[in-house]
Amino acid sequence: MKVLLVDDDDDVMLEALEKAIRRNGYEVELAKNGDEGWERFQKGNHPVVVTDLRMPESLDGLDLLEKIRKQNSLTQVIIITGHGGKDDAIRALNLEAFRYIEKGSSEMSRDLSDAIRLAFERCEEEGGDTDFTSLLSNPEKRSSIEKIRELAKEIPVVL
């Protein structure tokens, strides 16, 4: 079963995200703030992470994304926010967020569902497996993926 990490400091939102994601057939591991999300990420096998942008008194979503990028460039991170702006969106894209989704929009549920599905598809395309244990242990696949990511950084982002 495909497992993803979901990180949000709002208990109501976290519960709603969990229910919606499980309905789509995924297993969900929950974290209630950025610090807990980082701890769970380090201990788990998470090819996809969904995180809130703003989480006071802990790592925020962009800090978490940056830490994940430094440790594992293969994980697909989806940022969700109710308070983001253009600068946050640009920073998220520069840090290679997979998607940046606004909370509360009428399309949020569909957009998130699509983003999660596509994130897992990208994991499979890049490594042929959503189990990072086997993917990361294959130096040939990891090396090719790292080269592609380096080339992608040179492509300008236009909003």
**Residue 35 belongs to domain spanning:** 3-153
CA distance 47 to 125: 12
Tell whether 65 is covered by a domain: yes
Task: Tell me whether residue 8 is in a domain.
Answer: yes
What is the dihedral angle through the alpha carbons of 63, 64, 66, 72, rounded to the nearest 10 degrees? 170
- Residue 99 in any domain: the answer is yes
Domain count, the chain: 1
Residue 159 lies in a domain: no
pTM for this one? 0.79
Taking only the tens of pLDDT, the chain with its 159 residues reads: 799 999 999 999 999 999 999 999 999 999 999 999 999 999 988 999 999 999 988 889 999 999 998 887 789 999 998 887 888 888 888 999 999 998 887 888 899 999 999 999 998 887 644 555 444 555 555 555 566 556 656 655 544
Please state, in angstroms and rounded to a whole number, the distance separating the CA atoms of residues 33 and 30. Answer: 9
Residue in the structure block whose two tokens are 């990420």 = 41
Indicate the helix (H) or strand (E) that contains 132. helix 132-136
For the domain that residue 93 is a member of, what is the CATH number?
Answer: 3.40.50.2300
